[in-house]
Structure 1
Amino acid sequence: MIMNKLLRFCQLLLVIVLLVPASWQEAQAQNGPQYRALVFSKTKGFRHQSIPDGVVALKKLARDNIFDIYTTEDEDFITDANLARFDVIILMSTTGTIFNEAQKNSIQKFVQSGKGIVGIHSATDTEYDWPWYTQLIGAQFLNHPHQQTLKLNVIDRNHPATYHLPEKWVWSDEIYAFKNFNPNVRVLITADENTYDAGEGMGDFHPIAWTNEFDGGRMFYTALGHTDWAFQSPDFMKHLLGGIWWAAKGYGD
C-alpha cells in the first residue's frame, strides 16, 4: 500500500515537472513585451552629461511598463536588418552629423514602414544637412539662455504625453529656441517667455513638445531633458512614456 502511494506520488511529481516549463513558456509568451525600443545616444557635437542618467531612466521605464529596450551609440548598428527588430527609435540627446547615406536610408525606411521616432532634447541639434530629418523632427536648434524656471503651457492635453500634466506646468530646464520650424506638427506644450529670461527667443508662440505624423510614421519630440534630475521627475518620465508608447504603437491619441 505504501509503495503504491509512493509510486503515485512520484508519477504526479513527474507530471508537474514536465508541465511547469511549458506553462512557464506560455506565460512568458502571453506576458511578453508590448513593443521594442532602440535607444540611440551617439553625439558628434556637444555631449550632455545627462545622457547616462537618461539611458538608465529609460531602462527602468521599460522594465516597469512592459517593453523591451536596447541601447547603443554605434551608428553601424543602424541597418535595415537590425531596425526591423524594433518598433521605435529613441534619439537620446544626439548631436551633430552622425549617419552616412545607407544609415539615413535605413531610418527613412523604418519610418515609412509605419514605425516611430522619439526625440529628446538635442535631437533637434542633429543632422542639420538632412532635410528629411528636419521635417521629421520638426525643427532645428537655434539657441538657449541659461537654465531657468519657467511656466510651460500644456496647450493640448489630449495626447498620452500630456494626459497627466496640468495646463500650467512649472519646470526648470535649459529652454531651446528653434529655427526652420515645421508648421505641420501638432504642438503639445509651449514656453511662456514672459516667465523667464528668454534672450533671443521665439516670441508669443514658443513650442517645446510636439508630435508629427510624417512619411508614414509617427514622431514625438520634447525639448526638455537637459538636466540629470529631469529623469528623476515622475511627471517628466510619464511625459516620455506617453510619447514613446504613442510613437511605437499609435495608441491613446
Structure 2
Amino acid sequence: MKWLVAILASVLALLLPLPAAAQSQYKLLVLARPSTYHYEYIPIARDSLERLARLHAFDLVYTNKIEVFEDDLQQYAAIMFLNTAGSELTQPQRRRFEEYMRAGGNAMIVHRAAIMPVDDWPWYEKLVGRTVGVHPMLQTGVVTTVDRGFPATYGLPERWLWSDEFYVTTNPHGIAINPVLNVDETSYDPTKIWPGQVSHRMGADHPIAWHHQYEGGRVFVTTLGHNGEMYRDPTYIAHLMGGIHWTATGLGRQP
C-alpha cells in the first residue's frame, strides 16, 4: 500500500506546476568608468549593487562601456551615472540618452557624475539640476535630513556624521529641485581647499542630495560617494537603494 501512495504522490507532483522563479521588478543600467580620482570604487560598488539587485529582485547591468548607450535604452527603468559624468558620452550617445529621458526614462546621478565641464552639455547640467563648482577637501561633517518622506532617507538618522567632498553648487539654469539632504556648514570648514583655489560658503541652504522631474522622467542626485570604502557602508548603501527604488519605480514616498 505504501508503494501505491508513493507512486500517486510522485504522479501528483509531476502534474502540479513548478514554483515560479523569482521575477525581476525592473532593470537598472549603471555606468561606472575610472578617472584620475575615482577608480578604486568600481569593484566595491559593483559587489554592493549586485547584492542589492539579488536582495531586491531587480536586474543590474554594470558596465564601463559607453557603447551601451547605442543599444535599446528603453529596456531600463533607470540609468545610473556612477562617478561618471555625461561628458564621457559621444554626441550620438548623448542624443540617445536625451531621447530616452523624453520618452519617460529616469536617471540617477552619483557624486562625480554631477560635474560637467562648463557649457559642454547644458542639457545634462539641467538634468542634474545644479552646477558643481569647486569643492572643499574631503572632511567630516554633519549631513542633515531634509525630507523624511523620501526613500533615500529612510535608513538615515536626522543628523548623520559623514566624511565626503561636500560640493558647492549653483543654479544658473533656474531649475527647481526638491532637497533630500543638506550639509551643516558649521560642522566643517567649507573654505578648506587646495592652494590657488577659493571655496565659498553656501550657508544654511546647502543641498547635497535632491530629486526633481526633468523632460519626461524622474531624476535623483546624490553628491555623496567619493571613495571606495563608502560603498561598503550600510547607511550609505541604504541611501543609494532608496534612490534607486524611487528613480526606477516612482514609488516609496510618504505623502
Q: Secondary structure at the match of 1:122?
A: helix
1:203 deviates by: 2.0
Report matched runs for 1:124-163 at 5 Å.
124-126=114-116, 128=118, 129-163=120-154
CA distance in 2, matches of 1:13, 1:123: 56
Contact 2:115-2:131 at 8 Å conserved across structures: yes
State the secondary structure of the residue aligned to 2:161.
Answer: strand
Q: CA RMSD in A?
A: 2.2
Partner of 1:94: 84
Partner of 1:70: 61
Aligned counterpart, 2:74:
84
Which residue of 1 is the match for residue 243 of structure 2?
243
With over 3 angstroms needed to count, the CA separation of the structure-2 counterparts of 1:154 and 1:201, relative to structure 1, is farther
**Cα distance change on mapping 1:65 and 1:201 into 2, 3 Å:** farther
Deviation string, structure 1 residues 131-155 (Cα, Å, up to 9, x no partner): 1111011223322222211111212
Q: How does 1:1-253 map to 2 (within 5 A)?
A: 6=3, 9-10=6-7, 12-17=9-14, 19=16, 22-24=17-19, 27-28=20-21, 31-43=22-34, 46-79=37-70, 81=72, 83-95=73-85, 97-126=87-116, 128=118, 129-180=120-171, 182-199=174-191, 200-204=199-203, 205-253=205-253
Q: How many residues align?
A: 243
Query: Counterpart amino acid of 2:247?
Result: A
Change (3 A) 1:201 1:158: farther
Give, in whole Å, the separation in 2 of the partners of 1:37 and 1:240.
13
Q: For the structure 1 residues 201 and 63, does the alpha-carbon distance in structure 2 shift closer, same or farther, using more than 3 Å as the test?
A: farther
Contact kept? 1:51, 1:93, Cα under 8 Å: no
TM-score between the two structures when normalised by the length of structure 1: 0.86
In the alignment, the residues of structure 2 paired with residue 138 and residue 73 of structure 1 have an alpha-carbon distance, to the nearest angstrom, of 24
Provide Cα deviations, 1:149-191, integer angstroms capped at 9, x if missing partner: 1111212212111133222221111222224465411111111
In the TM superposition, residue 9 of structure 1 has moved relative to its aligned partner by 4.3
Query: In 1, Cα distance between the equivalents of 2:233 and 2:35?
Result: 28
Please say if residues 45 and 95 of structure 1, whose CA atoms lie closer than 8 Å, have aligned partners that are also in contact: no
User: Which amino acid letter does the alignment assign opposite residue 70 of structure 2?
Assistant: T
Q: Deviations over 1:206-251 (max 9, x none)?
A: 2100001111100111111112221222221111111111110111
- How many percent of aligned residue pairs carry the same amino acid? 33
CA–CA distance in structure 2, aligned partners of residues 95 and 214 of structure 1: 17
Of 54-63 and 38-47, more deviation after overlay is shown by 38-47
SS at match of 2:88: coil
Bigger CA radius of gyration = 1
Matched position secondary structure for 2:126: helix
Shift of 1:38: 0.7
The structure-2 alpha-carbon separation of the partners of 1:108 and 1:43, relative to structure 1 and needing over 3 Å to count, comes to farther
Distance 1:125 1:77 in 2: 21
Do the aligned partners of 1:127 and 1:133 also contact (CA within 8 Å) in 2?
no
Tell me the SS of whatever aligns to 2:133: strand
For residues 53 and 134 of structure 2, what CA distance do their matches in structure 1 show? Answer: 32
1:137, 1:219 within 8 Å by CA — same for their partners in 2? yes
Contact in 2 for aligned 1:149/1:172 (Cα 8 Å): yes
The 1:14–1:229 alpha-carbon spacing in structure 2 relative to 1, beyond 3 Å, is same
Deviation (angstroms), 1:8 = 6.9
CA contact (8 A) 1:151 1:171 kept: yes
